[in-house]
């Protein structure tokens, strides 16, 4: 019986791997892979640039040269790329699926290059609890060839960033990350594959200064000493990119790939991928990240040549590729997509060397979760400490009234955003922290969804509308109920709610007398016409979570600055010095929200 079950399981695994391999045969899988014409080839000789040079501007070679016009006996080169993985190495295709894809291509006679376009080490427990080390170790096992820093590679501080760069067994490049004008990483690297010299130029978004933690880029006096060649026109960045592209071409590059963490969002102008393409020449393909999109775009560069821009979403829900054929053409650039909620490694029961490495790392992470990092003198609760239901179980309070845990979470978010106001929806605060020792697992269980914190600039009226929407269900439960920091308000639950919504549950208008009154920001009455900075979860501020539309016209100041549970960990362990009591001793909170 056991033997038959084992044989059946093995047959299933074989079939699963066959299904994954078959996906590579289907052209593009996503159905939107644009074609790319070949770039002009150079007959100059080039050597592979080393990442170990002490001078980033030096492009000295470290390996044997190869003639760039040499014909390969293989099928060509697949440049595989990832972006915005955010610790999602078990999601989407997963690292195990990516390993399978790469091995399949190489078994068919292709050479491969694997690159990452930033924001890989932050966004999950593996990154948070090891400050990026676990992810870099897995990247080493994946045999990445080159990577660039995204804005969130700096989230653990500058010293830690350079420690992680040194841990990496692959070069980390950027043509614009600098200290006092001096580049800190090599601006580009040239790899020889299948007789072709392929250059990769690294570009990191200048919005990193605010998207990550600004203090990480400052000296002790609060002056910025690190930068990304930011200026109001974008010219400094364009010049740096052009300089690197020209240097790579002069060194003998047949193809130039721009590895970018730039994105397409308005807040990133004048440093979006489109800005770079339209102001430079000599780039063949732009591999981009930052905005978590999967758009495949063709546009003209400054010389009128068509350049393809490709991005592959987030959390490995797609893997990017660009195929260089033996005759020296870039024949196809696009993405393979995995749209399923369940990751490929789990659904297809993929077991390979990479899946084993991941199991080992996750075993270490699970041990780390049990580590005690703080202590609380009181229970930090989502429940009413007195009220019980008919079965004697605690009644949840966090979605209808203030609690000490709601206050703590709002304070942590406000601190992370360094804003006038911090807000968090009660539906996002999931589990109490019991009195006594606090583990990492306890903190992560409060915010298990790993929502990103962002900062907007909202008017007092928008804030008033949001508060009104949040209390529409009081005294009943509503996940939209807002806990606040830097702000207080009162609610008259005897007044019928005037909130109106559409069929999708989105706020459309507020009529009649309002339930919310006496709103104070830092002790001063809120001014409906004044603008305030507000930190909150992107779920609430940007994505219409719980039906919030009040902030639709607010200005986005900082996007994805930190994961919610990372902010809570930092606030408890650093700002509260690992011990909670005092201000958070009352389970009903500090009186920020008065309900009549």
How far apart, in whole angstroms, are the C-alpha atoms of residue 589 and residue 595? 12
Do residues 338 and 476 both lie within one domain? no
Q: Quick one: pLDDT at residue 301?
A: 98
Q: Quick one: pLDDT at residue 215?
A: 81
Q: Quick one: pLDDT at residue 74?
A: 78
133-165 pLDDT, tens digit per residue, is: 999 999 999 999 999 999 989 988 999 999 999
26 found inside a domain? no
Do the Cβ atoms of 83 and 288 come closer than 8 Å? yes
Among the candidates 365, 393, 412, a domain finishes at 365
Q: Is 432 exposed, middle or buried (0-12, 13-18, 19+ CB in 10 A)?
A: buried
* CA distances, 526 to each of 23, 424, 535, 551 (Å): 56, 19, 17, 16
Q: What CATH code is carried by the domain that includes residue 536? A: 3.90.780.10
Do residues 317 and 193 both lie within one domain? yes
217-258 pLDDT, tens digit per residue, is: 999 888 899 999 999 899 999 999 999 999 999 999 999 999
> What mean pLDDT comes out for the span 171-184?
97
**Buried b / exposed e across 32-54, counting CB within 10 Å, b at 16+?**
ebeebeebebbebebbbbebeee
Q: What CATH code is carried by the domain that includes residue 138? A: 3.60.21.10
**In this model, does residue 304 exceed pLDDT 90?**
yes
Q: How many CA atoms lie within 13 A of 102 on its CB side?
A: 24
Tell me the residue range of the domain where 526 lies: 371-595
| Residues belonging to the chain | 596
Q: Quick one: pLDDT at residue 125?
A: 84
4 found inside a domain? no
Do residues 399 and 488 both lie within one domain? yes
Do residues 309 and 434 both lie within one domain? no
112 confidence band (pLDDT: 50, 70, 90): very high
Do residues 226 and 311 both lie within one domain? yes
- 195-199, 253-257, 387-391: which has the minimum mean pLDDT? 387-391
What percentage of the chain reaches a pLDDT higher than 70?
A: 88
318-333 pLDDT, tens digit per residue, is: 999 999 999 999 999 9
Max avg pLDDT among 255-259, 370-374, 447-451: 255-259
Do residues 174 and 136 both lie within one domain? yes
Tokens at 60, concatenated: 């000295």
Tokens at 41, concatenated: 């080839």
Three-point CA angle 383, 386, 391, nearest 5° = 80
Count of domains for the chain: 2
Q: Which of 80, 25, 76, 104 is nearest to 318 (CA)?
A: 80
Residue that wins the pLDDT comparison between 273 and 68: 273
Q: Quick one: pLDDT at residue 50?
A: 33
Do residues 281 and 404 both lie within one domain? no
Q: Is the peptide bond before 569 cis (omega within 30 degrees of 0)?
A: no
Do residues 101 and 174 both lie within one domain? yes
Q: Quick one: pLDDT at residue 20?
A: 56
Q: Quick one: pLDDT at residue 73?
A: 52
Q: What average pLDDT does the structure give for the chain?
A: 88
> What mean pLDDT comes out for the span 41-46?
30
71-86 pLDDT, tens digit per residue, is: 445 799 999 999 999 9
The answer to whether the pTM exceeds 0.85 is no
**In this model, does residue 196 exceed pLDDT 50?**
yes
Do residues 346 and 418 both lie within one domain? no
The sign of the CA dihedral 154, 155, 160, 166 is negative
Do residues 224 and 319 both lie within one domain? yes
> What mean pLDDT comes out for the span 164-175?
98
530 confidence band (pLDDT: 50, 70, 90): very high
Do the Cβ atoms of 322 and 36 come closer than 8 Å? yes
Q: Quick one: pLDDT at residue 35?
A: 31
Phi-psi region of 582 (alpha: psi -120 to 50; beta: other; left: phi over 0): left
Do the Cβ atoms of 269 and 207 come closer than 8 Å? no
Do residues 325 and 444 both lie within one domain? no
Q: Quick one: pLDDT at residue 21?
A: 52
Max avg pLDDT among 5-19, 175-189, 379-393: 175-189
Q: Which of 115, 117, 114, 123 is nearest to 89 (CA)?
A: 123
341 found inside a domain? yes
268 confidence band (pLDDT: 50, 70, 90): confident
**In this model, does residue 449 exceed pLDDT 90?**
no
552 found inside a domain? yes
**In this model, does residue 341 exceed pLDDT 60?**
yes
Do residues 346 and 377 both lie within one domain? no
> What mean pLDDT comes out for the span 286-291?
96
> What mean pLDDT comes out for the span 273-302?
96
**In this model, does residue 70 exceed pLDDT 50?**
no
**In this model, does residue 126 exceed pLDDT 70?**
yes
**In this model, does residue 211 exceed pLDDT 80?**
no
How far apart, in whole angstroms, are the C-alpha atoms of residue 120 and residue 98? 15
Among the candidates 331, 365, 399, a domain finishes at 365
Q: Quick one: pLDDT at residue 213?
A: 76
Secondary structure of 112-158 as H, E, C letters: EEEEECCCCCCCCHHHHHHCCHHHHHHHHHHCCCEECCCHHHHCCCH
5 found inside a domain? no
15 found inside a domain? no
* CA distances, 364 to each of 86, 369, 370 (Å): 18, 9, 10
How far apart, in whole angstroms, are the C-alpha atoms of residue 433 and residue 60? 55
Among the candidates 315, 332, 365, a domain finishes at 365
What percentage of the chain reaches a pLDDT higher than 90?
A: 75
9 found inside a domain? no
161 found inside a domain? yes
């Amino acid at each position: 019986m056991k033997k038959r079950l084992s044989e059946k399981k093995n047959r299933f695994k074989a079939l699963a791997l066959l299904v994954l391999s078959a996906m590579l045969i289907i052209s593009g899988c996503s159905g939107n892979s644009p074609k790319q014409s070949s770039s002009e080839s150079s007959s100059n000789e080039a050597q592979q640039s080393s990442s170990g040079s002490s001078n980033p501007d030096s492009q000295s070679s470290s390996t044997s040269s190869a003639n760039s016009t040499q014909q390969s006996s293989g099928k060509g080169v697949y440049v595989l790329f990832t972006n915005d993985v955010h610790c999602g190495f078990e999601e989407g295709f997963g690292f195990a699926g990516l390993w399978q894809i790469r091995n399949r291509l190489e078994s068919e006679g292709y050479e491969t290059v694997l690159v990452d376009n930033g924001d890989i080490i932050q966004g999950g427990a593996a990154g948070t609890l090891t400050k990026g080390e676990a992810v870099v170790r897995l990247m080493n096992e994946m045999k990445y060839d080159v990577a660039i820093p995204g804005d969130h590679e700096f989230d653990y501080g500058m010293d830690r960033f350079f420690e992680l760069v040194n841990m990496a067994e692959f070069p980390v490049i950027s043509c614009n990350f600098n200290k006092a004008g001096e580049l800190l990483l090599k601006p580009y690297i040239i790899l020889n594959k299948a007789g072709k010299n392929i250059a990769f130029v690294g570009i990191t978004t200048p919005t990193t200064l605010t998207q990550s933690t600004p203090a990480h880029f400052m000296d002790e006096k609060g002056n910025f000493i690190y930068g990304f060649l930011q200026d109001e026109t974008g010219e400094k960045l364009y010049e740096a990119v052009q300089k690197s592209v020209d240097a790579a071409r002069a060194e003998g590059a047949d193809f130039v790939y721009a590895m970018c963490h730039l994105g397409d969002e308005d807040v990133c102008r004048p440093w979006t991928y489109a800005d770079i393409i339209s102001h430079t020449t000599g780039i063949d393909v732009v591999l981009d990240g930052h905005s978590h999109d999967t758009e495949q775009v063709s546009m003209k560069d400054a010389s009128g040549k068509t350049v393809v821009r490709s991005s592959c979403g987030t959390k490995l829900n797609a893997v990017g590729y660009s195929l260089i054929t033996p005759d020296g053409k870039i024949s196809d650039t696009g993405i393979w997509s995995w749209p399923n909620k369940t990751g490929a490694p789990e659904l297809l029961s993929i077991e390979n060397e990479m899946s084993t490495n991941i199991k080992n790392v996750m075993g270490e992470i699970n041990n780390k979760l049990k580590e005690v990092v703080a202590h609380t003198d009181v229970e930090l609760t989502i429940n009413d400490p007195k009220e019980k239901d008919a079965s004697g179980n605690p009644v949840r309070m966090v979605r209808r009234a203030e609690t000490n845990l709601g206050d703590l979470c709002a304070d942590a978010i406000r601190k992370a955003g360094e804003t006038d106001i911090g807000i968090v929806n009660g539906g996002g605060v999931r589990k109490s922290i019991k009195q006594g020792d606090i583990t990492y697992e306890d903190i992560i269980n409060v915010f298990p969804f790993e929502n990103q914190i962002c900062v907007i600039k909202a008017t007092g009226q928008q804030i008033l509308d949001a508060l009104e929407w949040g209390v529409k269900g009081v005294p009943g439960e509503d996940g939209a109920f807002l806990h606040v920091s830097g702000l207080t308000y009162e609610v008259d639950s005897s007044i019928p709610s005037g909130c109106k919504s559409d069929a999708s549950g989105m706020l459309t208008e507020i009529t009649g007398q309002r339930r919310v009154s006496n709103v104070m920001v830092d002790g001063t009455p809120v001014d409906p016409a004044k603008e305030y900075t507000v930190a909150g979860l992107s779920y609430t501020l940007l994505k219409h979570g719980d039906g919030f539309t009040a902030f639709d016209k607010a200005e986005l100041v900082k996007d994805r600055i930190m994961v919610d549970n990372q902010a809570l960990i930092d606030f408890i362990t650093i700002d509260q010095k690992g011990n909670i009591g005092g201000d958070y001793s009352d389970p009903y909170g500090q009186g920020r929200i008065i309900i009549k």
